[in-house]
Amino acid sequence: MVSPVEVDLAIIGGGCAGLSLAVELAAAEWPPGQRPRVALIEPRTDFVRDRTWCFWPVIPHAFDAAIRARWPRWEVRAPGRQVIRGSSRLPYVQIPADAFYEVALGRLRAAPNVELLLGGAVHEIVDAGDHVALETSAGHLRAALAFDSRPPPIAPGPAPDHDPDATEVTLLQHFVGWEIACDRPCFDPTMATLMDFAVPQGDGLHFFYVLPQAADRALVEATYFTPTTLPTATYEARIRDYLGRRFGVRDFAIELRERGVIPMSSAPARPRASPRVYNIGLRGGLAKASTGYAFLAIQAHARALAGRLARAPRGAPIAPPPARSELAVAMDRVFLSHVARHPERAPGLFADLFERLPPELLIRFLSDRATPLECLRVMSTTPLAAMTREVIRSRGRWLRPATLPLADA
Ligand SMILES: Cc1cc2nc3c(=O)[nH]c(=O)nc-3n(C[C@H](O)[C@H](O)[C@H](O)COP(=O)(O)OP(=O)(O)OC[C@H]3O[C@@H](n4cnc5c(N)ncnc54)[C@H](O)[C@@H]3O)c2cc1C
């Protein structure tokens, strides 16, 4: 048998979470002689623009150099309502995936202890007690610790029934986006449309997301929060219809297509699959359940994880940092329970949040950085009687811990 490649840390998957962790490990301060040998295994060899990450930059992260657009104003639309808000200090920023990959891979190629095993997939991960054995398409790999970012299986759950505490809420955020170029100016490049709910709701809770890069160019996404995905033709027909109705755009070139399915679940996160195998990225529960945002949480988690590893003896298991705060998870569970039960109320709820809260407070809330007092203020913008009923009804969900202990993972 060929002897396995031996490393200290194996990162499985070189998408957002895997590359971010590798970049943070390369940048971390290590005691002399303790810098770990890292291998990152990723099936792709070509890193194209397969998605676009947007967020409000409320914390420092390693990818400022990849930001390609900033919107100081944003809007939310609901039938008969338009709420415009903004912040010049905290604009909504965009990182196209190709720019992210370029920055990350450039840094990792210059990092002496990081090996990029591109074009290889991991088939099996076995925690052998004192090491992790990985079966990959390129052979065996032996690591002290492994960090798994393979996409989690998507298992839509049933809609909540009359026993609201009996089942998990598992919706999907699913969308198809086109980046289009038109032959005349149609968009306002200073304003992002975060949610436009003034669209047909026949297939479930549905909104449009519009990011104009220039007056004649925008990313336009048809998004749903429902238990199951739709045929591609349905999203595409909705996009054409929306472009015609809202912007009078009928002739355009599609320059890029993206699609996504992100779980929106009340289930606890699983930070570890076993003592030496950690889940990171969406697999580790880093997506905000009520919005699907994960980019900034992944950055914060990667930095905290690298810091803990740098302070621990080389190759020793560590307690993983929490994926998200208990408070943020509890708030999301109440919100998800309410939206799953009353999808028709979501447009008004979102419009109220944007209208009634100071923009930077809402940004902190949406970025999981709100204090308990700020969370109370957020709750106070919602219809109080209905929300109080929801808090009581969904207590079986939000009173649970945000993460599963290792024994249950
Ligand atoms: C289209 C799209 C747009 C999004 N937009 C935003 C946004 O605007 N803001 C935001 O905050 N979040 C956004 N998200 C959510 C989230 O930030 C992304 O999904 C993010 O990429 C999640 O990172 P990840 O590392 O968990 O998964 P991924 O980035 O998907 O990485 C998983 C990696 O695992 C690799 N892999 C798969 N199988 C194997 C295997 N067997 N062995 C080894 N590797 C394997 C894959 O090739 C991939 O590179 C978006 C998601 C999508 C899909």
170-182 vs 139-148, strand pairing mode = unpaired
Element of type H or E holding 333: helix 326-341
Q: Which of 45, 42, 63 is nearest to 54 (CA)?
A: 63
The pLDDT of residue 323 is 87
The predicted model gives 302-331 an average pLDDT of 94
Calculate how far, in angstroms, residue 302's C-alpha sits from the geometric centre of ligand 1.
Answer: 14
For residue 199, give Cα distances in angstroms to 160, 203, 217, 229, 350: 25, 11, 21, 18, 15
Q: Which of 54, 88, 50, 64 is nearest to 195 (CA)?
A: 54
The string of pLDDT tens digits covering residues 252-298 is: 999 999 999 998 988 888 999 999 999 999 999 999 998 999 999 99
Calculate how far, in angstroms, residue 139's C-alpha sits from the geometric centre of ligand 1.
Answer: 24
If one residue of 63, 270, 295, 298 were mutated to test the ligand 1 pocket, choosing by the most ligand atoms within 8 A of its CB, it would be 295
DSSP secondary structure of 98-152: HHHHHHHHHHHHT-TTEEEEET--EEEEEE-SSSEEEEETTEEEEEEEEEE-SPP
Element of type H or E holding 221: strand 217-226
Q: Which of 208, 280, 198 is nearest to 239 (CA)?
A: 208
Phi, psi of 254 (to 5 degrees): -90, 115
The residue ranges of every structural domain in the chain are: 5-59+99-154+266-311, 326-408
Percentage with pLDDT > 90 across the chain: 79
> How many residues can be counted in the chain?
409
Please, what is the average pLDDT of the chain? 92
Q: Which atom of ligand 1 is nearest to the CA of 54?
A: 8
Q: Between 372-380 and 326-341, two packed helices, what is the crossing angle to 10 degrees?
A: 20
Distance, in Å, from the CA atom of 238 to the CA atom of 208, rounded to the nearest integer, reads 9
The domain over range 5-59+99-154+266-311 is classified in CATH as 3.50.50.60: yes
Tell me how far the alpha carbon of residue 174 is from its chain's centroid: 12
The string of pLDDT tens digits covering residues 218-265 is: 999 999 999 999 999 999 999 999 999 999 999 999 999 999 999 898
CA atoms within 13 A on the CB side of 151: 9
Tell me how far the alpha carbon of residue 387 is from its chain's centroid: 26
Calculate how far, in angstroms, residue 382's C-alpha sits from the geometric centre of ligand 1.
Answer: 32
Q: Which amino acid is at 329?
A: V
Nearest CA to ligand 1 atom 5: 53
Calculate how far, in angstroms, residue 5's C-alpha sits from the geometric centre of ligand 1.
Answer: 26
5-12 vs 139-148, strand pairing mode = parallel
According to the 3-state scheme, what is the secondary structure of 17-35? HHHHHHHHHHHCCCCCCCC
Q: Which atom of ligand 1 is nearest to the CA of 177?
A: 1
The pLDDT of residue 388 is 82
Q: Which atom of ligand 1 is nearest to the CA of 121?
A: 42
Calculate how far, in angstroms, residue 16's C-alpha sits from the geometric centre of ligand 1.
Answer: 6
Q: Residue for token digits 């449309």?
A: 193
Calculate how far, in angstroms, residue 151's C-alpha sits from the geometric centre of ligand 1.
Answer: 7
Residue 245 burial (C-beta neighbours within 10 Å; 0-12, 13-18, 19+): exposed
Reported as a pLDDT band with limits 50, 70 and 90, residue 160 is very low
Q: Which residues line ligand 1 (CB under 6 A)?
A: 12-18, 41-44, 51-55, 121-122, 149-151, 258, 260, 262, 281-282, 287, 292-295, 298
Residue 164 tokens read as 């609201």
Calculate how far, in angstroms, residue 15's C-alpha sits from the geometric centre of ligand 1.
Answer: 5
Distance, in Å, from the CA atom of 85 to the CA atom of 82, rounded to the nearest integer, reads 10
The pLDDT of residue 157 is 52
Residue 40 pLDDT exceeds 80: yes
The pLDDT of residue 84 is 98
Instruction: Tell which phi-psi region holds residue 124, choosing left (phi > 0), alpha (psi between -120 and 50) or beta.
Output: beta
The string of pLDDT tens digits covering residues 356-389 is: 999 999 999 999 999 999 999 998 888 877 888 8
